[in-house]
Amino acid sequence: MRRSVQIQGLVVLFLFLTTLGVWYAVFREDRHGILTVSFLDVGQGDSVFIDTPSGRQVLIDGGPDRSVLRELGKILPWWDRSIDVVIATHPDADHISGLVDVLQRYRVENIFHPGVEKNTGPAESMLLSVASEGAQEIIARRGQIIDLGSGAYLEILFPDRDVSRVETNTASIVARLVYGDTAFMLTGDSPQSIEGYLVTLDGSSLHSNVLKAGHHGSKTSSSELFVGFVGPEYAVFSRGCENRYGHPHAEVVALFKRFEIPALDTCTDGTVTFVSDGQTVVRK
């Protein structure tokens, strides 16, 4: 009799903990209309994680190594092993090496890339991972809209042509994340020549609350013209401390200071996170 009571007690406790876990998961999944954008601290590289009000998730680039898994582990609950969209802006190691590990750890539905032909170890490994993962592979082109639900979407601004034989930085995917009246400009390693080209195409439509400084703050990106048209409230440098490239360049730092744009830095600030309610953007 006593043993039967003990078993019943354990069953009740199990059911209680299961119910508690389910409701905790439901609570965690409710974003309350908030878009969250995190510029992950992955060292000398890029990785941006987007969590939308609808619950859809996007990862743009994966940094140079497995550090991206550590940072994702801080953001995502342990039971979440899926990412809806992965974007590989271009096939340089500091942007896609970590995606190989991401594709092995997480179930990915769609992966966008610019279609650059570059036979590097990381690029080949990523494509093999895509094939084994079963994710839908999509070549990014200007005009594509990635609907993220609840009014949030990603608009591909570049490339607008075949870039299979174009230099990798020049071929970078440039995307603008929009939610309500707020926006984030995400530029990969796009150089000033492409920035100027986008100004001629889009002009004031480039305006965004947050600008990820192109190419980790290199002087080859973040032209005065482009920064002026984007007109961000914040800029973000995604880079490693004491990197051998001297990122961010003093000229770029001075430009943001002259425009009175606060510049955050994953080296000194760690992962940089913003939240948007569709009206305003604030740093979390």
Both tokens assigned to 146:
């990635």
Q: 180's torsion region: left (phi>0), alpha (psi -120 to 50) or beta?
A: left
Average pLDDT over residues 65-84: 95
Q: Quote the percentage of the chain above a pLDDT of 90.
A: 81
Of 209, 223, 236, nearest to 60 by C-alpha is 236
Residues 115 and 8 in one domain: no
Residues 232 and 91 in one domain: yes
Residues 10 and 53 in one domain: no
Which pLDDT belongs to residue 6? 56
Residues 135 and 150 in one domain: yes
Residue 113 confidence (pLDDT) above 80: yes
Residues 241 and 179 in one domain: yes
Residues 234 and 205 in one domain: yes
Q: What is the pLDDT of residues 210-250, one digit of tens each?
A: 999 999 999 999 999 999 999 999 999 999 998 999 999 99
Which pLDDT belongs to residue 25? 41
Residues 26 and 146 in one domain: no
Count, residues in the chain: 284
Q: Are 82 and 130 in contact (CB under 8 A)?
A: no
Residues 77 and 119 in one domain: yes
Helix (H, G, I), strand (E, B) or coil at 212: strand
Confidence of residue 135 (pLDDT cuts 50, 70, 90): confident
Confidence of residue 31 (pLDDT cuts 50, 70, 90): confident
Residue 22 confidence (pLDDT) above 50: no
Residues 75 and 187 in one domain: yes
Q: 184's torsion region: left (phi>0), alpha (psi -120 to 50) or beta?
A: beta
Average pLDDT over residues 192-200: 98
Residues 19 and 109 in one domain: no
Work out whether the CA dihedral 135, 271, 236, 193 comes out positive or negative: negative
- Residue 219 sits in a domain whose CATH number is 3.60.15.10
Q: How far apart are CA 95 and CA 190, in angstroms?
A: 13
Residues 15 and 50 in one domain: no
Q: How far is CA 181 from CA 43, 203, 205, 277, in A?
A: 31, 17, 12, 9
Of 37, 47, 100, 96, nearest to 71 by C-alpha is 47
Residue 23 confidence (pLDDT) above 50: no
HSE-up of residue 142 (Cα within 13 Å, Cβ side): 14
Helix %, strand %, coil % for the chain, to 5? Answer: 35, 25, 40
Which pLDDT belongs to residue 18? 46
Which pLDDT belongs to residue 92? 93
Residue 81 confidence (pLDDT) above 90: yes
Tokens 């071929």 appear where?
Answer: 171
Residues 26 and 37 in one domain: no
How many domains in the chain? 2
Range of the domain at 11: 1-30
Tokens 């299979």 appear where?
Answer: 164
Which pLDDT belongs to residue 124? 65
